[in-house]
A = this chain, B = another copy of it.
Amino acid sequence: MKRRFALIDLRHDPEPDRHRRQIETALEKARSQGAELALLPELVFDPYFCQTESAAHFARAQRLDGEHAQMLGQWARSYDLVLVTSLFEARLPGICHNTALVVERDGSVAGIYRKMHIPDDPGYFEKYYFTPGDTGFCPIDCSAGRLGVLVCWDQWFPEAARLLCLAGADCLLYPTAIGWNPADPPEVRTRELDAWITIQRSHAIANGCPVLVANRTGHERDPSGQSEGIHFWGHGFAAGPQGEYLAPPTSDQASVRVVELDGERTGTVRANWPFLRDRRIDAYGAILERACPGPTRPKD
């Protein structure tokens, strides 16, 4: 079975109506190219507010039946698209999450994923805002297949990709917000971008599973003035189950691209490279430890 999915890299527009109109334009373009699913960047409605820590930003969080989720449902119906992105979820007072939603074409929520791995480094103070997710790593069934949805920082963790694939995900989808520190020299930026592409392609290869990523683009300033802000690097891409590009990472500009996923190819690739067959589950126990400075190797 073949499916057409759209990758939408977006620049956040601080003017809300204009921001929504640009999303609608992108969704219309995706649909006109035959997509049945559109992947949008992380926290699609908000500026990347995690550049600073301010209690005022918690007012941005919404319940999963709030205005932002309703807007996604309306778009899903209007454009006849399954939508995947993340929202700032207000779950309970004092418990907010970075929550991905899969919104079905009829506007209903097919399932959610609460970001499990939460970053915290200069410019990305997410541990302040986002309680670690409790959904674990389970695929979400919808009309576009059995989706393995993860969010941004999860992309650095082979465990997350592996668990979704062991649970039967057809593909891995990463709504993302990552960028460069404008103060960093070009060689650092190149290395970071390359590492980010490489680690995600590796999840495709290790698991014989397509990987799709959509990222923010453009500069967002640091309201504290303490840094030069973030230059979100775009370069969303799609890779097939051997890591081969279906849509290469090409640019730090906003874009809409539609790729075709071949549902048969995962089986073909896994038959030729049967990694999942050979996993040593009897010897992986220490994966569940923080660190394991055990005895070193015996000599015989």
Binding site for B on A (CB under 8 A): 64, 102, 109-113, 116-121, 132, 135-141, 146, 153, 156-160, 162-163, 166-168, 191-192, 194-195, 198-199, 201-202, 205-206, 242-244, 272-276, 278-281, 283-300
Contacts and interface: CB of A to CB of B under 8 A. Distances in A.
A292 B195 contact: no
30 contacts: A110-B299, A111-B297, A112-B299, A116-B283, A121-B273, A137-B286, A138-B294, A139-B296, A156-B205, A157-B206, A157-B275, A158-B158, A158-B202, A158-B206, A159-B279, A159-B287, A160-B280, A163-B286, A163-B292, A166-B287, A166-B291, A167-B292, A167-B293, A191-B242, A192-B242, A194-B243, A198-B202, A199-B202, A199-B206, A276-B291
Contacts of A294: 138, 167
A168 B292 CA distance: 8
A287 B158 CA distance: 11
A153 to B, nearest CB: 7
A44 to B, nearest CB: 19
Nearest to A167: B292
Nearest to A99: B300
Given A191-B242, A284-B288, 19 more contacts: A109-B299, A111-B296, A137-B283, A138-B295, A140-B296, A140-B297, A153-B278, A158-B159, A159-B162, A159-B284, A163-B284, A167-B286, A191-B244, A194-B244, A195-B243, A198-B198, A199-B205, A281-B290, A288-B288
Nearest to A114: B297
A67 B195 CA distance: 43
B291 A132 contact: no
Contacts of A202: 158, 198-199, 201-202, 205-206
B275 A166 contact: no
Contacts of A275: 156-157
A175 to B, nearest CB: 15
A83 to B, nearest CB: 15
Top 10 A-B residue pairs of the complex, sorted by shortest distance between their CB atoms = A202-B202, A158-B158, A111-B297, A140-B297, A195-B205, A156-B275, A195-B243, A199-B205, A141-B296, A117-B278
B300 A166 contact: no
A201 B244 CA distance: 15
Contact of A162 (B140, B158, B192, B283): B158
Contacts of A195: 205, 242-244
Given A202-B198, A296-B141, A118 B281 contact: no
